[in-house]
Structure formats: C-alpha cells, structure tokens
Amino acid sequence: MHIFSSCKKPAWPCSMGLLDTPCLLLDEKRMNLNISRLRDRLLSAGVGFRPHLKTAKSIEVSRRMMPTPHGPATVSTLREAEELADHGVTDITYAVGIAPDRLPRVQTLRSRGVDLSILLDSVEQAAAVAAVSDPADPVPVLIELDCDGHRSGVKPDDTSLLVSIARTLTPAAQLRGVLTHAGESYEAKGRAALIAAAEQERMAAVMAAESLRAAGWACPVVSVGSTPTALSASSYAGVSEVRAGVYVFFDLVQAGIGVCTVDDIALSVLTTVIGHQHAKGWTLVDAGWTALSSDRGTATQAVDQGYGVVCDESGSPIPDLIVIAVNQEHGIVARRPGAAGDSPHLPVGKKLRILPSHACATATQHRCYHVIGTGGNDVTEVWPRFSGW
C-alpha cells in the first residue's frame, strides 16, 4: 500500500518506494554540509550572515540556516516574513523593492516586534515610506544598488540619487544602509569570473556606502550577496553582511558554473516510469513541469542539463540521461543529445530521482519536503513548505 504524498505525517521512517509520485526529496546530510560550508567560510572571514530563505520557504530548513532562532534572515515576500514572525524570527530584511500598498503589512509586522527592513531604489518609493512611517518607530530602509546591470537598483556612483533618497526618508523613516545582489554571477564562467563578480559586487556596495557617509548618513549596513559570490569572494572588506539562499540545496545551474558539484545537490524529485516510446528512445515519467518547473537555467551553459539530471533511486546520476522535455504531468527522459549508446531499460513502475535545474523553481512546485535522514536512504520526516506573497 502506498503512502499518499499529501504532506501529512504517517508513520516514518518509510521506504521511498512507498511514496506516491511525484514528490520532493531533501537529502538532510547534503543540506547540512552545504549549510556548514558557507557558514564556516563567513565565520572565518568575520563577516555577518543573513541567509535568504526564499529558496527554503520552510521553518525547519530556515532554523538550520539562520545564525540564531531569531535571525537574521532575508525574505522575498511579506508572506515569508509573516510566517517567520509567527515562529519567533524578529530580524528580517524584505529584499524586494517595496510597493506602497504593502506598507501597512510592514507596519503590522513591526508592531509585533519584528525589526523589518525594507528595500527601495527611488525617490517616489522613499516619499511613500516617509508618508506612513511613524517617527517614533521609523521604518528602516536599505537602498538597492545595481552592481552589474542585472535588475533593479541605483547605480553605485549615482551619489546625487542616493543622497536624494536619503533626504526624502528623513526624518520619518531611517536609512539603515545599502544592499546589492550580483545576479549576473549566475552567468559567470570559471573561477576567475566568479571572483571578479564578487569583487565588483563588494566594491559597488562599499562605494555607495562611503558616498552616503560623506554626505552625512551613517549607513551601518552594507549588504551583498548571491550564492556564487558568497562562496567565491576573495575579500569582504567594508561589508557588514552577506546574503545567500540557493546554497542550502544547490542545483544544476550552480554546478554548471562551478560553485558546487552534482554530488552536493540536496534536492531531487522522486518520479515513476509510466511508459515508453521505444522508437524515439524515450522513457516517460510522471514528473512534468508541475513537479520540475519549466526552468531551463543550464541551456546557455557548456553542458545543457535539460529539465533535470536523471538518477537512480539511490540518487546516483545515470550517465547522460536527462529530462529532455516536459508537459504538464509528463516528463520525457532520454539520452543527452549527441551522447553515444542506447537509453537504459527503465521498466514501468521504476522509481527515479531528478536533480533540479533551479532549486528555487522546483521546490516552489511542492507543498513539503520528504526528508531523507542522514546515513540512510529512507524518508524519516516531512517538513512543510509555505508559499504565497
């Protein structure tokens, strides 16, 4: 009899063979090693750590990532902040540009004793924050910086705009510092490029902070972060804290740029073989884009991993076997284009595991983690995930 994979908690441990598929697996041992790797690096460098919890979206995982039960933490939605606050986390940065209609929720969280910082990159946003901020409890603000042209933010050398934002916030709100994210590091190729991206990120943040200080603002927070740069930086001088999120699980994109190896990836999707198209060399599985996501993050890398690398039930990759296409509830497994030899015979009913292209995108398709306990291959616990905005 199969255990219905509803994220309820039947008797554990249990064999993966008893789980309905598709479902999300989390290798606890690999996750713990990933957490320790970055934590130890930052501790030895003497720089603060504010893990980004948008990848995990789980209280159980977040508790393992944060330096203390109360934080610090980074989130990408107010829903994440509210969930964390419900579990005692009180030091949170909301690292997405603030929309004015979300400010009442920010104030509600602050009224609950949460030291919630918000992010903005325009005078218009600063005016909206100042208009609702209580001078007795000024909303702490970080100015977002564009360090590499990847997304939003103020150019770090645009001192005029930085100062205009700071003045607009005063005195109702509080300028706490600057924050940047080296998103283009995900396109880095090779160790030298990763180190250069990290240094560019660091220098952008330090430059902006120094300009604000010279104009009279204290700017105590200088926040940088992405998984590639956090694990590659040659210096953290002038930085007060580092943020990273996907490092907790890693994925094929991170492996493709050399930040981790495939053996470090802690997340996978358990799936079942449901059919074949022998003439095409296809094996059909029950994990489509609703289970794997449609993310194709490795498409521009040296090795295109399709929609995921196919592993046996123990988690060992099957050579040159990937998910080449997905429909809503079907995945098509085949040899990597150009690979020699025939596809292995995978009988109907066989369980496989798929390593994700992008851990954040795959995890968000699921309601819980089925945790593979350290030192074994059985599922020992189920950890819920939360979602929404």
Q: 389 in a domain, yes or no?
A: no
Q: Residue 5 pLDDT more than 60?
A: no
Asked whether residue 197 falls in the same domain as residue 282, the answer is no
Asked whether residue 232 falls in the same domain as residue 317, the answer is no
Model confidence band, residue 16 (pLDDT cutoffs 50, 70, 90) = confident
CA distances from 152 to 143, 148, 160 (A): 11, 10, 17
**Domain limits at 199?**
29-248
Q: What is the 8-class DSSP label of residue 48?
A: E
Asked whether residue 166 falls in the same domain as residue 207, the answer is yes
Asked whether residue 200 falls in the same domain as residue 60, the answer is yes
Asked whether residue 54 falls in the same domain as residue 176, the answer is yes
CA distances from 52 to 8, 73, 127, 177 (A): 27, 6, 27, 18
3-class SS at 247?
helix
Asked whether residue 145 falls in the same domain as residue 244, the answer is yes
Q: What is the CATH number of the domain that holds 52?
A: 3.20.20.10
Percent of the chain with pLDDT over 90: 87
pLDDT value of residue 341: 81
Q: 254 in a domain, yes or no?
A: no
Task: Report the pLDDT averaged over residues 114-141.
Answer: 95
Percent of the chain with pLDDT over 70: 97
Asked whether residue 243 falls in the same domain as residue 277, the answer is no
Q: 7 in a domain, yes or no?
A: no
Q: 1 in a domain, yes or no?
A: no
pLDDT value of residue 9: 53
CA distances from 229 to 118, 133, 225, 293, 373 (A): 22, 34, 7, 25, 30
Q: 4 in a domain, yes or no?
A: no
pLDDT value of residue 4: 47
Q: 236 in a domain, yes or no?
A: yes
Last residue of a domain, one of 248, 280, 312: 248
Q: Residue 61 pLDDT more than 60?
A: yes
Model confidence band, residue 1 (pLDDT cutoffs 50, 70, 90) = very low
Task: Report the pLDDT averaged over residues 175-192.
Answer: 92
Total domains in the fold of the chain: 2
Structure confidence by residue, pLDDT tens digits, 318-366:
999 999 999 999 999 999 988 888 889 999 999 999 999 999 999 999 9
Asked whether residue 125 falls in the same domain as residue 270, the answer is no
Model confidence band, residue 187 (pLDDT cutoffs 50, 70, 90) = confident
CA angle 312, 295, 25 (to 5 degrees): 35
Model confidence band, residue 13 (pLDDT cutoffs 50, 70, 90) = confident
Asked whether residue 21 falls in the same domain as residue 163, the answer is no
Task: Report the pLDDT averaged over residues 200-214.
Answer: 97
Q: 145 in a domain, yes or no?
A: yes
pTM (2 decimals)?
Answer: 0.94
pLDDT value of residue 189: 86
CA distance 357 to 385: 19
Structure confidence by residue, pLDDT tens digits, 298-314:
999 999 999 999 999 99
Asked whether residue 283 falls in the same domain as residue 135, the answer is no
Asked whether residue 231 falls in the same domain as residue 265, the answer is no
pLDDT value of residue 162: 98
CA distance 179 to 225: 8
pLDDT value of residue 262: 97
Of the listed ranges 13-22, 166-175, 246-255, 351-360, the least confidently predicted one is: 13-22
Last residue of a domain, one of 198, 216, 248: 248
Q: What is the CATH number of the domain that holds 318?
A: 2.40.37.20
Asked whether residue 244 falls in the same domain as residue 266, the answer is no
Q: 290 in a domain, yes or no?
A: yes
Q: Residue 18 pLDDT more than 60?
A: yes
Last residue of a domain, one of 205, 226, 248: 248
Provide the mean pLDDT of the chain: 94
Higher pLDDT, 340 or 46: 46
